[in-house]
């Protein structure tokens, strides 16, 4: 990655997802697609998008004529406190959120094929650079994005969520490949439909992903009857940005209830949500956060951690953070009184690993009681040295700690680890831990490190200290397809290149006649290159006859090919 203050601070575990933008792989046709969409956007969205969009295009350095280069974008984005990285299509939602939390815009490097100019289910550079980038120039909205990322990357996912993500990614890859067969696409759509129907009860990630879709991707803002567009999915879709404001699309006030409304990435949305302003987005987001295990703690939190089946962190009232794969807990009076992990586990404080308490040391799992000691009012984490001495808790002394819950810890005190005036870990040798008749730890298992905490106050996805835990997001196994164009496509791309050269070199107008003969003979139905040629001819008074011939051909195409008649019509209006 290039030298950039924001990118330099990006957590290392995200680096595997970053790729080099394949700028030299973009064809002249790709640049023409970008140019067409951007010209339509500027013409139409200036009237219907949020007021910050057009200004944001200028502030973020988005070119009208060619696909932007990441290096150029980053030089300008850093002025508004952001950066951009290229990635290979869809990335895991939690990783996407974490990039966002770090003020980094994730840009899918590919660009949509020409048959998906109006809308594509795959993230592409038009969607990211022309949709997301301009609107982040609005400070209030940018703050919402960062906060969303901070909360979203801590949301719990389920195993079904990941299967759904892989199905979405696969479909987007297949549909973005112009050489995919109808059978391949149908099979991918059926696989996605299967996973959508078998996700079970929605996880935190599934719910917050819905909020992300109905705001960041497909949000409207302002008056319910005459809203403006701000969602990147609409800003980058010249097809749906037109239809979204029609009366046929239901407009609903944006509330927390939107978290329960799913979406279909393969088609236009039947309803959209309207927020009165960007500050309301933050209000709804914080209301959602109040329902997350991050804030609820207790049984709800440990249950979600276990159900996720992945690395999670449970934070105790003392500030101790236990990171690992949680597998079970003991509950008394509707409160967790003992929590347990299996496999590598790390103990942290203030998001930094406690020395000697890493995942290699706790390689086989970890367990610890929660709650107060029986008949003692002061929580163990807040006991002073005098309190500890009075209750017989001293280094090198054998103690028997009996918790109100019925959990019993009996062993020889090795160390009492304190931080910021609190007792956070008590380590025992020759230790036995029991609950009723169940043995939770026995002396021959080694040293018992007891995390001190009266209650479980928070739980969230991922480790508290990712780098120390060794967290890495692996690059996706299935890559977006490297398009191998056939000979006919390569010839067409060369013609696009020739048209571009003519447009950028006004003295070369005489070439238009020979270009038109080649296009008319070999690619008579390629509407975009013909439209680009017509634009050039429109600027040359000596080419009136040829202009009329090309214009007539385009009008005939529009009349006989309904699949791109509107695209041609809109292009002619420009």
Average pLDDT estimate for 136-140: 91
Residues 48 and 158 in one domain: yes
Confidence of residue 175 (pLDDT cuts 50, 70, 90): confident
The whole-angstrom separation of Cα 495 and Cα 502 is 11
Quick: pLDDT tens for 515-531: 999 999 999 999 999 99
Say if residue 276 is in the same domain as residue 339: no
Question: Does residue 300 belong to any structural domain of this protein?
Answer: no
Q: Is 234 or 275 the better-scoring residue by pLDDT?
A: 275
pLDDT at 508 over 70: no
154 & 17 share domain: yes
Q: Kindly state whether residues 392 and 510 are assigned to the same domain.
A: no
Contacts of 446 (CB under 8 A, 6+ apart): none
- What does the pLDDT average to over 351-377? 97
For 305, left (φ over 0), alpha (ψ -120 to 50), or beta? alpha
Closest by CA to 403, choosing from 462, 450, 470, is: 450
**Which tens digits make up the pLDDT trace of 105-123?**
998 888 988 988 887 777 8
Domain for residue 480, yes or no?
A: no
Report the pLDDT value the prediction gives residue 116, as an integer from 0 to 100. Answer: 86
- Which among 416, 420, 444, 418 has a CA at the least distance from the CA of 430? 444
Q: Which residues on adjacent β-strands are paired with residue 432?
A: 410
Backbone angles phi, psi at 109, to 5 degrees: -75, -25
Higher pLDDT among residues 246 and 299, named by residue: 299
Q: Residue 550 and residue 294: Cα distance in Å, rounded?
A: 62
- Confidence category of residue 231, pLDDT binned at 50, 70, 90: very high
Task: Decide the pairing of beta strands 220-222 and 398-402.
Answer: unpaired
Looking at residue 73, what DSSP letter applies?
H
Rounded Cα gap, residues 400 and 279, in angstroms: 53
Within 10 A of 413 (CB to CB), how many other CB atoms are there?
21
pLDDT in tens, 250-289: 999 999 999 999 988 778 899 999 999 999 999 999 999 9
Q: Specify whether 122 is located in the same domain as 203.
A: yes
Q: Rg (Cα) of the chain, in Å, rounded?
A: 29
Kindly give, in sequence order, each residue whose CB lies less than 8 Å from that of residue 294, ignoring residues fewer than 6 positions away. Answer: 151, 154, 155, 301, 458, 459, 460
CATH value at residue 29:
1.10.800.10
Q: What is the pLDDT of residues 450-488, one digit of tens each?
A: 999 999 999 999 999 999 999 998 888 888 888 888 999
Helices 182-197 and 159-176 sit at what angle, rounded to 10 degrees? 160
Clarify whether residues 238 and 348 are in a common domain: no
CA distance 308 to 459: 11
- What pLDDT is stored for residue 507 in this prediction? 57
Tokens 């004529």 appear where?
Answer: 65
Domain annotation covers residue 35:
yes
Q: Are residues 26 and 126 in the same domain?
A: yes
Full 3-state SS string of 372-410 = CECCCCCCHHHCCHHHHHHCCCCCCCEEEEEECCCEEEE
User: Domain count of the chain?
Assistant: 3
Instruction: Kindly state whether residues 451 and 514 are assigned to the same domain.
Output: no
Question: pTM to 2 decimals?
Answer: 0.91
Does residue 387 sit in the same domain as residue 268?
no
The answer to whether residue 507 is domain-embedded is yes
Tell me: do 83 and 222 sit in the same domain: yes
Query: Average pLDDT, stretch 83-93?
Result: 91
Whole-number pLDDT of residue 3 = 63
Cβ atoms 227, 195 nearer than 8 A: no
pLDDT at 509 over 80: no
Does 104 share its domain with 229?
yes
Helix 139-152 / helix 278-289 crossing angle, nearest 10 deg: 20
Residue 40 resides in a domain: yes
Residue 525 belongs to domain spanning: 487-573
Same domain, 391 and 528: no
Whose CA is closest to 284, among 294, 273, 269? 273
Q: Is residue 449 part of a domain?
A: yes
Residue 124 included in any domain: yes
- Asked if the structure places residue 316 within a domain, the reply is yes
């Amino acid at each position: 990655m290039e030298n950039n203050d924001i990118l330099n601070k990006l957590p290392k575990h995200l680096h595997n997802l970053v790729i080099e933008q394949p700028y030299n792989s973009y064809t002249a046709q790709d640049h023409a697609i970008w140019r067409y969409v951007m010209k339509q956007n500027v013409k139409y969205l200036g009237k219907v998008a949020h007021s910050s969009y057009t200004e944001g295009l200028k502030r973020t350095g988005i070119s009208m004529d060619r696909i932007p280069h990441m290096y150029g974008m980053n030089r300008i984005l850093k002025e508004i406190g952001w950066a951009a990285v290229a990635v290979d299509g869809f990335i895991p939602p939690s990783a996407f959120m974490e990039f966002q939390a770090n003020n980094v815009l994730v840009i899918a490097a590919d660009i949509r094929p020409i048959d998906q100019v109006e809308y594509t289910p795959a993230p592409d550079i038009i969607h990211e650079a022309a949709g997301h980038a301009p609107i982040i120039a609005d400070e209030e909205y940018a703050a919402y994005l960062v906060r969303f990322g901070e909360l979203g990357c801590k949301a719990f996912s389920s195993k079904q969520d990941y299967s759904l993500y892989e199905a979405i990614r696969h479909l987007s890859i297949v549909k973005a490949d112009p050489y995919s067969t109808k059978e391949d696409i149908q099979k991918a759509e059926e696989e996605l439909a299967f996973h959508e129907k078998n996700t079970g009860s929605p996880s935190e990630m599934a719910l917050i992903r819905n909020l992300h879709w109905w705001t960041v991707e497909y949000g409207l803002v302002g008056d319910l009857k005459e809203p403006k567009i701000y969602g990147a999915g609409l800003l980058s879709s010249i097809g749906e940005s037109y239809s979204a404001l029609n009366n046929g699309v239901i407009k609903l006030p944006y509330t927390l209830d939107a978290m329960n409304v799913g979406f279909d990435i393969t088609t236009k949305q039947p309803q959209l949500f309207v927020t009165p302003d960007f500050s309301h987005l933050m209000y709804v987001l914080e209301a959602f956060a109040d329902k997350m295990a991050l804030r609820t703690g207790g049984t709800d939190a440990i249950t979600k951690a276990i159900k996720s089946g992945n690395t999670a962190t449970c934070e105790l009232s003392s500030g101790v953070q236990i990171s690992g794969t949680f597998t079970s807990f003991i509950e008394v009076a509707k409160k967790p009184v003992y929590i347990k992990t299996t496999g590598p586990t790390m103990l942290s404080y203030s998001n930094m690993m406690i020395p000697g308490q890493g995942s290699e040391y706790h390689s086989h799992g970890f367990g610890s009681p929660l709650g107060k000691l029986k008949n003692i009012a002061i929580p163990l984490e807040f006991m002073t040295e005098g309190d500890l001495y009075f209750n017989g808790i001293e280094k090198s002394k054998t103690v028997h700690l009996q918790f109100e819950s019925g959990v019993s810890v009996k062993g020889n005190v090795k160390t009492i680890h304190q931080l910021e005036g609190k007792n956070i870990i008590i380590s025992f040798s020759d230790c036995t831990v029991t609950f009723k008749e169940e043995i939770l730890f026995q002396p021959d298992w080694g040293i018992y490190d007891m995390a001190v905490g009266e209650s479980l106050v928070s739980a969230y996805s991922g480790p508290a200290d990712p780098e120390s835990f060794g967290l890495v997001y692996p690059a996706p196994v299935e890559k977006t397809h490297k398009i191998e164009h056939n000979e006919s496509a390569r010839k067409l791309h060369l013609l696009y290149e020739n048209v571009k050269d003519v447009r950028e070199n006004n003295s070369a107008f005489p070439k238009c006649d020979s270009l038109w003969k080649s296009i008319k003979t070999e690619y008579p139905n390629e509407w975009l290159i013909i439209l680009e040629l017509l634009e050039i001819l429109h600027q040359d008074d000596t080419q009136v006859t040829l202009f009329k011939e090309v214009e007539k051909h385009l009008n005939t195409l529009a009349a006989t090919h309904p699949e791109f008649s509107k695209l041609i019509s809109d292009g002619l209006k420009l």
